[in-house]
């Protein structure tokens, strides 16, 4: 049995490797800056290439390979997933939403290109993602992805997050926000990879449970890092959750209990994988990475 730290290291190396391939595909799939409207294409690329862990592409590629998926179509999905994640960040950073000036150590889209362009760049990335997904030929995967992105998924979580700012909320609401705003797209990434590899319904259900656990753990760790890290370490404003009166895990149960909950979720995610007969080692490593990451 490996230590959780060495497990995490395996995942980190895996994600870095996939990120490199995925990024080469982003470049291929994003419209070139020379095409009209040039500045919009520049804004889309600026945010897509602002760095980031490329976790969602990594998750989709992991389940695709795990279930024996073959061919190039997975790269359409990895581009689509990162475009959707980036779209959500651009719109979340807008002055009327979270009003953030920095993201991944760079100026946010609206700070760099102006608000109108930032709104349109987010819209364009969202639409372009569905064009990529259309090219996979899998309409079922599109339905599932859109469902987990929409008001019963990511957008629902973001909206509730905004509505609860500065309000006293209970753990049920924080769980709702975290699950929807973060875990839903993580779950979707895993499921899209599995679907494109034609995984069975039963296996999809297992992946769904694993995804929910690591997704929620991911956001709890995010909340913790917002408190214990510096802005430099994070590449975005540290301490901004408290400043904005955001509903977070530590604000309700404290840092120690938040850490315990993340650890529990990690164990639940590993247990969920028990039902699979294929090699799940990479998903176990990713779960370890998610709860030990420092940025």
Q: Which residues bind its own copies (CB under 8 A)?
A: 31, 35-37, 39-41, 44, 87, 91, 94, 96-97, 114-117, 119-120, 122-124, 126-128, 130-131, 133-147, 149-152, 155-156, 158-160, 162-163, 176
Query: What minimum distance in Å lies between the beta carbon of 121 and its own copies?
Result: 9
Query: What minimum distance in Å lies between the beta carbon of 176 and its own copies?
Result: 7
State the DSSP code for 229: S
Q: Which two tokens stand for residue 290?
A: 């998610």
Direct distance between the N- and C-terminal alpha carbons of the chain, in angstroms, rounded to an integer: 25
Using the minimum distance from each CB to its own copies, give the nearer residue, 37 or 51: 37
Helices 249-272/281-292 angle, 10° precision: 170
Query: What minimum distance in Å lies between the beta carbon of 257 and its own copies?
Result: 25
How many other C-beta atoms lie within 10 A of the C-beta of residue 45? 17
How many other C-beta atoms lie within 10 A of the C-beta of residue 143? 10
Using the minimum distance from each CB to its own copies, give the nearer residue, 136 or 189: 136
CB 126 within 8 A of CB 87: yes
Using the minimum distance from each CB to its own copies, give the nearer residue, 91 or 284: 91
Query: What minimum distance in Å lies between the beta carbon of 131 and its own copies?
Result: 4
Using the minimum distance from each CB to its own copies, give the nearer residue, 155 or 276: 155
Using the minimum distance from each CB to its own copies, give the nearer residue, 4 or 94: 94
Using the minimum distance from each CB to its own copies, give the nearer residue, 153 or 215: 153
Query: What minimum distance in Å lies between the beta carbon of 235 and its own copies?
Result: 24
CA angle 175, 177, 179 (to 5 degrees): 65
Nearest Cα neighbor of 82 from 121, 55, 118, 113 is 55
Using the minimum distance from each CB to its own copies, give the nearer residue, 128 or 212: 128
3-state DSSP assignment of residue 102: strand
Nearest Cα neighbor of 127 from 11, 63, 44, 58 is 44
Query: What minimum distance in Å lies between the beta carbon of 293 and its own copies?
Result: 28
Query: What minimum distance in Å lies between the beta carbon of 76 and its own copies?
Result: 10
Query: What minimum distance in Å lies between the beta carbon of 195 and its own copies?
Result: 12
Q: How does 10-37 read in b/e, with b if 16+ C-beta sit within 10 Å?
A: bbbebbeebbeebbebbeebbbeeeeee
Using the minimum distance from each CB to its own copies, give the nearer residue, 33 or 276: 33
Backbone angle region of 14, left / alpha / beta, with phi > 0 → left and psi within -120 to 50 → alpha = alpha
């Amino acid at each position: 049995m490996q230590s959780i730290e060495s497990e995490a290291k395996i995942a980190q190396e895996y994600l870095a490797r996939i990120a490199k391939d995925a990024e080469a595909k982003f470049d291929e799939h994003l419209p070139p800056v020379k095409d009209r409207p040039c500045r919009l294409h520049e804004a889309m690329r600026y945010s897509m290439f602002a760095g980031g862990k490329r976790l969602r592409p990594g998750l989709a590629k992991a389940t695709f390979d795990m279930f024996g998926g073959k061919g190039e179509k997975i790269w359409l999905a990895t581009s689509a997933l990162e475009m959707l994640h980036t779209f959500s960040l651009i719109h979340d950073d807008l002055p009327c939403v979270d009003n953030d000036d920095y993201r991944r150590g760079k100026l946010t889209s609206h700070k760099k290109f102006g608000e109108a362009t930032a709104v349109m760049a987010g819209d364009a990335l969202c639409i372009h993602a569905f064009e990529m997904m259309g090219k996979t030929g899998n309409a079922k995967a599109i339905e599932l992805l859109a469902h987990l992105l929409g008001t019963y998924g990511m957008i629902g979580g973001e909206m509730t997050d905004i509505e609860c700012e500065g309000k006293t909320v209970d753990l049920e609401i924080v769980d709702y926000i975290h699950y929807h705003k973060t875990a839903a797209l993580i779950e979707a990434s895993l499921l899209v990879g599995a679907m494109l590899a034609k995984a069975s319904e039963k296996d999809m259900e297992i992946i769904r449970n694993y995804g929910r656990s690591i997704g929620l753990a991911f956001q709890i760790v995010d909340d913790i890092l917002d408190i214990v890290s510096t802005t430099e370490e994070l590449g975005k404003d540290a301490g901004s959750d408290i400043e904005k009166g955001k509903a977070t895990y530590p604000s309700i149960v404290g840092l120690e209990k938040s850490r315990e909950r993340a650890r529990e979720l990690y164990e639940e995610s590993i247990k969920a994988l028990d039902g699979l007969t294929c090699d799940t080692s990479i998903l176990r490593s990713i779960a370890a990475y998610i709860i030990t990451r420092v940025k």
